Chain A
Amino acid sequence: MIPRHLLIAVAALGIMASGMSLYVWRVRGTVAQTAAISPNTQPVAPPAAGPTEQVTLYVAYDDGGMLRPRPARIPLPSGRQERAEELLRTLVAIYLGKPSPHVLGAGSEIRGVYLADPGLAVIDLNAAFANGHRSGVLVEELTLASLVATLAANVPAIARVKILVDGKERDSLAGHVDLTAFYDVSRVDQLVTQLTIEP
């Protein structure tokens, strides 16, 4: 016959094991859920350090559908390409902040900016940027104009811009604005002028 105290001990251990299992299962579910809800929104490159510079960011405002130049002081690296990337990452950080003047999808990032001669800049967005972008002619062209105008205003000698998503050409940003074409900065400037006028 099994002693009574042994039975009680086994039963207690069984209850504890079941409780622990249940607890571990719940914690695992919570962690998985948290990971799914909060994607990594940190920029892919470390933030630039060093002396700050005065720049002009062209910030899109959904309220009124406008683009407004906003002066800012940000630390910028010395290389042209790194400067271009840092400028656009600063702009995207504004859109990802709260409150945001022009909401972008969570996880939107600038993967890189490549400067090719003569005067061509290629902006590479990540998939979350395009996939999470709201769909509409104005909301999409505000994003395009904001990126191109900010780049052209602060990095000299950029004449044309091409936008890629995850390193590949994509038909449109979110169903409207064409991403297959190369855009002349002078043409986009005309759009910027239209977008800075109060409707």
Chain B
Amino acid sequence: MPYSFRSSLVLLRFVALASLLVFSSPSSPKQFSVYSKTANYSVVVVERNNTDYLGLLELLEPLGTVSVKANGGHWTFRYNDVEADFVAGRMRARVRGSDIDLPAAFVLENNRGLVPTSGLGALLPPMLGSPITLNLSGRRLFVGDVAIHFTAVATKTVPPKLVMNFGSPVNPMIATEPGKLEMMFAHDPVVAPGSQTLTFDSKAIPSATFEETNGMAKLLVTTTVPAMANFSNDGRTITITAAAPPAPPPSLPPSRPTARLTAPPSAAASSEPKTSASAATHVFVVIDPAHGGDESGAALTDQLPEKNVTLAFARRLRTLFDLRGLNAWMVRDGDLTLSPDQRAAMGNASGAAIYIAVHATSEDNGVRLYTALMPSGGPNQGWFLDWETAQSSFEGLSQTAAASVATGLESKQVSVRSLSAPLRPLNNLVMAAFAIEIGPASRDVSQLSSPEYQLRLGEAVVSGVADISDQLDAHRK
């Protein structure tokens, strides 16, 4: 066979194989979700030698204090006071002095230790010191007794309803299409009822199926008429009503996403009228860790994407706000891809008093606070706000909030600069809104991941917001 013909054949096979790989690969990355009393979050699964692997550091970092020492192929991982030893290429780990067999070899890449997901069942209990429930096919891990059970009952009222009661507040993404209503529980440890398929004595809502896949639980409710979902009982009850869907919210233009909205816990999705008493239990602050998923943001170092720092700092802010008694909610609590429109829609649906977008930079020192630089937009007509300039009537309040946070930061001797910026979704929000971009105090970028530094900045931010909480509350929509 001539060489050139043989080369062409090899090339053709390569192209065909590459095409197959490209076109057959799933559009969303593999996710693995962890549910615990400390945090619920997702991490990205990587594939090595046709086996699913997870970075052990990312997996356990939100649950406790972790540290790593790498020496050649030897990798020592410390979680709280438990030490685990791994060797690259070996199918055995040593935890608390005992050997544990792994179903596939430990992988070490740029000092990042990867363990096979199928080995977590043996590896994690001695490390965490608590029982776990691992659902490998659904890629879900439950640490301790955290599962949320639910019941579903169809009523024979007019219009017909399906009432689902959950053991704890839940926060699913809801998508509706003709003939079905899908609820995706990305960060709620919702588990299957007795059967995967539920049937109801209702012509309008005949059945529902429960599925666990790619780190989330999905509940698919089959309907024969248009249906809508309402939250009540502080997010513990979801009622699906078989009725015509309402008109889209006035703040969203038709071209913007309206079908997929995440209802924050105890959000204004409840059909009950909002009163000042009920507002106190609602979300006060929405925290938006910028970037995520496919969109990494700036590369702060070769190993540190902006999306990781924004998520870590946002989690710290949420804890600090909660400690202050200000109910905080995050638009993402894992490595998820969200568009600015989705973030704005979630923020606006929350009924919160303030929205804080978190960014990070290695380019400059200290902190920068940004309020919206409003673009050109159409006029607002009555209740209908122009999407591009929805923030217009909150500009003053946003600047007041940013100024208060700047004062808080200055009191902690943090260098701070306040600017406006054409940074979405700030201009699409109907509440006080600003973005905080954190930089290291010195040229040392590793400070951005330092718990002490994040705590110092976080306390200043929370203090600044808390100082004007009454003013913010008074302007809630």
Contact = CB atoms under 8 A, between A and B. Distances in A.
Interface in A150-199: 160, 171-172, 174-178, 180-184, 187-188, 190-191, 194-195, 199
Given A138-B361, A172-B424, A191-B420, 10 more contacts: A65-B417, A134-B363, A137-B361, A137-B370, A138-B364, A141-B423, A171-B340, A181-B427, A190-B373, A191-B419
Contacts of B370: 137
Interface of A: 62, 65, 134-139, 141, 144, 160, 171-172, 174-178, 180-184, 187-188, 190-191, 194-195, 199
B284 to A, nearest CB: 25
A195 B419 contact: yes
Interface string B360-379: 01011000101001111000
A195 B417 CA distance: 10
Interface residues of B, number: 28
Nearest to A144: B422
Contacts of B140: none
A59 B387 CA distance: 32
Nearest to A141: B421
B417 to A, nearest CB: 5
Interface string B149-190: 000000000000000000000000000000000000000000
B435 interface: yes
Given A136-B363, A191-B420, A175 B295 contact: yes
B343 interface: no
B333 interface: no
Contact of B363 (A62, A141, A171, A187): A62
Contacts of B299: 135
Given A65-B417, A177-B423, A181-B422, A137 B368 contact: yes
Nearest to A181: B375
A141 B371 CA distance: 13
B423 A194 contact: no
A65 B364 CA distance: 8
Pairs of residues from A and B, 7 with the lowest C-beta to C-beta distance, nearest first? A181-B375, A135-B298, A182-B376, A199-B417, A136-B361, A178-B422, A178-B424
A187 B375 CA distance: 8
A103 B359 CA distance: 21
Interface in B315-363: 340, 359, 361, 363
